[in-house]
Amino acid sequence: MTVMSGEIDLRARIDEFFRTSFATDNPLITEAIQRMLAAGGKRLRPRLTLLAAQAAGGNIEEHLAISAYMELIHVATLIHDDVVDQADTRRGVNATAVDFGNRISVLAGDYLFAWIFKNVTADYQHPIPHILSATLASICDGEVLQLRSLDNIALDMAGYREIASKKTASLFAASARCGAIVGGGSPEIIKALTRFGELFGIAFQMKDDLLDFVAEQAEVGKPVGHDLVEHKVTFPVIVALAMLDDAAKAPLLQYYGGDDDSLTAAIRAVTQSAAIDRSNSIFEQTLDEALDALAPLPKEAHAPFAALVESVRR
Amino acid sequence: MTVMSGEIDLRARIDEFFRTSFATDNPLITEAIQRMLAAGGKRLRPRLTLLAAQAAGGNIEEHLAISAYMELIHVATLIHDDVVDQADTRRGVNATAVDFGNRISVLAGDYLFAWIFKNVTADYQHPIPHILSATLASICDGEVLQLRSLDNIALDMAGYREIASKKTASLFAASARCGAIVGGGSPEIIKALTRFGELFGIAFQMKDDLLDFVAEQAEVGKPVGHDLVEHKVTFPVIVALAMLDDAAKAPLLQYYGGDDDSLTAAIRAVTQSAAIDRSNSIFEQTLDEALDALAPLPKEAHAPFAALVESVRR
């Protein structure tokens, strides 16, 4: 159990770093961010940065700041998501937009992005600032693609993976890549860890989509079926549409065709079919591909990543 | 009149650069930005960058890209302002938020910021990327300060200048500073041009606040009295509150105290008092201070800046 407790320590170390060393120049925005951080989260992105830095030969304690920026980019996108989606809850607590209003939420997210880049451009050499800004562009691009794909039942797995790659996996890939770079990894090690981050991120999004169907509200901190209510065509839906016969998928076609009353039947069409099992096995397979990407690393470096993988597999 | 036509050419050159050389990787966002650019604007920020580059010894044609990023940062903040302020019109055309929805507006602004930083971190050395991100943080900070100062009739000229400096002048100062740096200016020249940008930017905000009281809607592309409707305590209001007697300023106190019916009387309290003349003379004086800041530059370098100043003085 050494590896598992090592993982738990990493998360605690990151949270301690946030509590003791994090403040922006704006107290109102610092408070909003501290509240979001205190509400929960697994800190997967900064953990990935620190594990990658370590695997590349670096010292975890020296790279807490860059790992924190990865979590903060995620927090900034969540703050703007709350405006974008007009979500009422986020991680089980009131969204920034609800507490402080849309006006402050847009500004708080902008300020946080700017504050991150201000610090990163002061403290890190090329290509770190470039990776972070390119990643943010990719995240936005993926979100726009997702908006344009609402109710699009023709979206296939390739289209889904493109959106998940840009919207979600790009930040996991950047977290691993920046960790590997600051840790002093070789080009081959940097490439392997970036690939791990990318595949781990796609699997993470698949799991997130699955939980929207099968989890309890308390577990994910947002209402179950929320993705469907927003008319997103998510991973299990795409799997269901590809494998179900016409009669079985009729409620899904009705719901995405504009009949909001079909919501419950549409959810049931997915959850009571083999689509959940099939989705789970694609998800597991993607996690395995992520672990395979670590082949260039020495065997003893694999264990902490395997533990990270297990923490989302459950 | 050579200088004046030189100035007009600069604006045309910038617009030509946008038409021929500007596209982001996202066609939807490029279209939204091109529409905003086509709707008007004086391109004061990129002109300032190019004039500063020239004054520092550089060649204007080599620095069109960095000047364009200055305008694009401004455009990105306008896109987010439209969400923030729920404005219906901007520069006389429909706001991005009205045409494309709040969700796309937040994402389009984020994408544009990220795309700018992605390019700037790839193409420019330190400190250019750092100046731009610090400036964006400053703009957001100023906007937050302004939101917290709504209806605050205790706001004095020092408080007003702090907000104007962060929200508006910081980008003018950065435009001049980046131009001076890429043009190869000495530290003394960089400092003088930055100071010019800062004072010019504060004067620009003063004029913008004045126009909200005295301009015709067609002239400024937004409804007159709009700042007051948003409960902002602007430059002429602060001047009026400081110079008027209790009876004369009563409608202002009523309006900012919560009596929306006093709007017309509050506007009249400012426009029919000596506050407009007094505001104008403070504005003129600030422009003169901006020109004074150019003292370290050779005499022959002053003329294009004087022309820029004249274009906002009118």
What is the residue type of A141? Answer: D
Chain B contact set for A148 (CB, 8 A):
28
CB of B29 within 8 Å of any CB in chain A?
Answer: yes
Q: Is the pLDDT of residue B158 over 80?
A: yes
Q: Are residues A205 and A234 in contact, defined by beta-carbon separation less than 8 angstroms?
A: no
For residue range A148-183, list pLDDT tens digits in order.
999 999 999 999 999 999 999 999 999 999 999 999
Q: Please report which confidence band the pLDDT of residue B2 belongs to, taking 50, 70 and 90 as the band edges.
A: very low
pLDDT value, residue A226: 87
* Confidence label for A88 from pLDDT (cuts 50, 70 and 90): very low
Q: Do A110 and B80 touch (CB under 8 A)?
A: yes
Chain CA centroid to CA B239, Å:
21
The pair of structure tokens assigned to A291 is 């672990």
pLDDT band of residue A131 (cuts 50, 70, 90) is: very high
DSSP category for residue B88: S
What gap in Å lies between CA B249 and CA A313, rounded to an integer?
67
Of A309, A296, A298, nearest to A199 (Cα)? A309
**Predicted confidence band at B267 (pLDDT cuts at 50, 70, 90)?**
very high
| Residue of A78, A79, A80, A117 to mutate, interface with B, max B Cβ within 10 Å | A117
**Could you say which of A107, A115, A133 has the minimum Cβ distance to residue B118?**
A133
In chain B, residues with a C-beta closer than 8 Å to the C-beta of A129 are 117, 121, 129
Instruction: Give the C-alpha separation, A135 to B157, whole Å.
Output: 41
Sheet strands (E) in chain B: 89-90, 93-94
Strand partners, A94: A89
Please say if the pLDDT value at position B94 is more than 70.
no
For residue B111, the chain A residues in CB contact (below 8 A) are 137, 140-141, 144
Positive or negative CA dihedral for A77, A79, A80, A83?
Answer: positive
Give the contacts of A142 (CB within 8 A, at least 6 positions apart). A162, A163, A164, A165, A166, A167, A168, A170
Flag whether residue B231 sits within 8 Å of chain A, measured between CB atoms.
no
Interface confidence, given as ipTM, is 0.90
What top-level class would CATH report for the domain A2-313? mainly alpha
Please give the structure tokens belonging to residue A195: 């690939």
What's the gap between Cα A226 and its chain centre? Answer: 17
Domain B2-309 in CATH 1.20.1300.10? The answer is no
**Which two tokens mark A258?**
């504009």
The count of other CB atoms within 10 Å of the CB of residue B260 is 10
User: B118 and A106 in contact by Cβ < 8 A?
Assistant: no
On chain A, the residues whose CB falls within 8 A of the CB of B28 are: 144, 148
Collapsing DSSP to helix, strand or coil, A258 comes out as: coil
Cβ of B141 within 8 Å of Cβ of A84? The answer is: no
Of B102, B110, B144, the CB nearest to A140: B110
Give the pLDDT confidence score for residue B84 in this predicted structure.
52
Smallest CA-to-CA distance from B180 within B194, B195, B200 is with B194
Of all residues in chain B, the one with the smallest CA distance to A129 is B121
Q: Quick: pLDDT tens for B289-304.
A: 999 999 999 999 999 9
Using CB atoms, which residue from B84, B103, B126 is nearest to A147?
B103
Is the predicted pLDDT of residue B169 greater than 70, yes or no? yes
Q: What is the mean pLDDT of residues B180-190?
A: 98
Place of tokens 């301690």: A16
**pLDDT higher at B79 or A243:** A243
Q: Domain map of chain A by residue range?
A: 2-313
Of residues A291 and A215, which shows the higher confidence score? Answer: A291
Contacts with A310 (C-beta within 8 Å, 6 or more apart), sequence order: none
Using CA atoms, how far apart are residues B176 and B186, in angstroms rounded to an integer?
13
Q: Hey, which residues 123-142 in chain A have their CB within 8 Å of chain B?
A: 126-127, 129-130, 133-134, 136-137, 139-141
Q: Which of B208, B203, B205, B210 is nearest to B271 (CA)?
A: B210
H or E element: which one contains A89?
Answer: strand A89-90
CA-based nearest residue to B206, from B137, B157, B154, B272: B157
* Confidence (pLDDT) at A126: 94
Peptide bond into A304 cis (omega under 30): no
Pick from A170, A188, A68, A55: nearest CA to A119: A68
Is the dihedral angle over the CA atoms A60, A182, B129, A172 positive or is it negative? negative
The pLDDT of residue A92 is above 50 = no
Mean pLDDT of A6-14: 80
Average pLDDT, chain B: 90
Contact indicator for B71, B46 with CB cutoff of 8 Å: yes
